[in-house]
């Protein structure tokens, strides 16, 4: 079967025989996957990147704290990366979703949602995580815009502004201590009975951090830019930004189905070389670590690419 693989940047149709065999198939073609593809493509490995086009930061207007791209849009950064990677004829890119993987080291078979079948000697999962939006009106619309996960990524843009933290207990205490470096106008919303200890409450009070225990019922915003939190009493808390750490799940269930171990926090267990517990299967980026940033994703993807190449050399 002949298929067309469209690359947005280098206008080329690539024909791929059914069951084409690649040295490496990279599942997930965002920052970590493209970084691995660059290393492997430059190592003259025959690489296929398959990506379903849903990176976790797609709603955020500007990405920060990544050298040379500070303030650029997430889509632009990904587009630049893809353009660079696709200059290497050793790399092919498929806009598709991998729905099935089976096999073992040096002989994996993958099937995509559109029915393509390919084979690979090695696999890299750079599939990221999916944030699970809480059942709080307005939260999902503001996510990545004014409801933010990380002060290093977005804190500077909200410095000295009235800011909330949606968290409870030890997490709330740790976040408040950190974020107070960016703004002193800080309120912790525990969204129910406080689980902060007496000592933590006293330390927050000394830092002039307010604590609100009432449940939250609504987030008022304009196009994702926060205006106020409404609590169960009907009180309107005016805010510019709200920090939150919603729960997550693996974006892709296939590593677990292949037998890759997940750790207690829900990340794919990898060693220092990005190797999973299944031989020949690697993972990189957000799906492996709570250190969640473009720079970390790029670094781990680049490392995975180099290590995969070494493994292929060692195995002859």
Judged by beta carbon, residue 99 or residue 201, the one nearer ligand FAD is 99
We find the least distance from the C-beta atom of residue 164 to ligand FAD, in angstroms, to be 16
Judged by beta carbon, residue 173 or residue 243, the one nearer ligand FAD is 243
Judged by beta carbon, residue 19 or residue 156, the one nearer ligand FAD is 156
We find the least distance from the C-beta atom of residue 227 to ligand FAD, in angstroms, to be 19
Integer CA distances (angstroms), 223 to 133, 137, 141, 143, 146, in order: 17, 13, 7, 11, 10
Judged by beta carbon, residue 221 or residue 251, the one nearer ligand FAD is 251
We find the least distance from the C-beta atom of residue 270 to ligand FAD, in angstroms, to be 12
Residue with tokens 């927050």: 204
34 phi and psi, to 5 degrees? -70, -35
Q: Which token pair is 173?
A: 């205490």
We find the least distance from the C-beta atom of residue 212 to ligand FAD, in angstroms, to be 24
Helix, strand, coil in percent for the chain, rounding step 5: 25, 30, 45
Q: What residues line the site for ligand FAD (CB under 6 A)?
A: 27-28, 30-33, 50-57, 60, 63-66, 97-98, 126-128, 131, 143-144, 149, 153-154, 251-252, 285-286, 292-295, 297
Judged by beta carbon, residue 122 or residue 251, the one nearer ligand FAD is 251
- E-strand stretches of the chain: 20-27, 47-51, 91-95, 98-104, 107-112, 117-125, 129-131, 147-148, 163-166, 186-189, 210-212, 216-222, 225-231, 236-238, 241-244, 248-250, 281-283
Q: Which token pair is 73?
A: 């849009």
Judged by beta carbon, residue 38 or residue 204, the one nearer ligand FAD is 38
We find the least distance from the C-beta atom of residue 75 to ligand FAD, in angstroms, to be 11
We find the least distance from the C-beta atom of residue 145 to ligand FAD, in angstroms, to be 8
Judged by beta carbon, residue 114 or residue 197, the one nearer ligand FAD is 114
We find the least distance from the C-beta atom of residue 306 to ligand FAD, in angstroms, to be 17
Residue, CB closest to ligand FAD:
285
| Cα 48 to Cα 35: distance, rounded to the nearest angstrom | 13
Three-class SS of 10-75: CCCECCCCCCEEEEEEEECCCHHHHHHHHHHHHCCCCEEEEECCCCCCCCCCCCCCCCCCCCCCHH
In angstroms, how far is the first alpha carbon of the chain from the final one?
30
């Amino acid at each position: 079967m002949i298929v067309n693989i469209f690359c947005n940047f280098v206008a080329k149709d690539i024909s791929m025989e059914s069951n084409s065999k690649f040295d490496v198939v990279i599942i997930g073609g965002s920052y970590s996957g493209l970084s691995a593809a660059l290393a492997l493509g430059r190592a003259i490995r025959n690489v296929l990147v398959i990506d379903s086009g849903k990176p976790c930061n797609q709603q955020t207007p500007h990405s920060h704290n990544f050298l040379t791209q500070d303030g650029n849009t997430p889509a632009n950064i990904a587009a630049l990366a893809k353009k660079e990677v696709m200059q290497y004829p050793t790399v092919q890119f498929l806009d598709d979703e991998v729905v099935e993987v089976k096999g073992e080291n040096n002989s994996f078979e993958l099937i995509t949602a559109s029915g393509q079948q390919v084979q690979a000697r090695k696999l890299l999962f750079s599939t990221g995580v999916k944030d699970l939006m809480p059942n709080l009106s307005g939260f999902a619309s503001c996510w990545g815009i004014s409801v933010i996960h990380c002060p290093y990524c977005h804190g500077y843009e909200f410095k000295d502004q009235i800011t909330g933290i949606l968290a409870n207990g030890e997490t709330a205490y740790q976040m408040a201590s950190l974020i107070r470096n960016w703004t002193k106008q800080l309120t912790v919303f525990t969204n129910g009975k406080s689980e902060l200890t007496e000592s933590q409450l006293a330390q927050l009070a000394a830092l002039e951090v307010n604590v609100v225990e009432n449940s939250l019922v609504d987030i008022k915003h304009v196009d994702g830019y926060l205006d106020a939190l409404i609590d169960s009493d009907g009180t309107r808390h005016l805010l510019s930004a709200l920090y939150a750490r919603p729960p997550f799940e693996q974006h892709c269930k296939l590593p677990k189905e292949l037998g890759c171990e997940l750790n207690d926090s829900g990340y794919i267990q990898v060693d220092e070389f990005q190797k999973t517990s299944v031989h020949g299967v690697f993972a990189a980026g957000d799906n492996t670590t709570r250190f969640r940033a473009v720079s970390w994703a790029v670094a781990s993807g680049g490392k995975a690419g180099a290590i995969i190449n070494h493994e292929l050399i060692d195995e002859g």
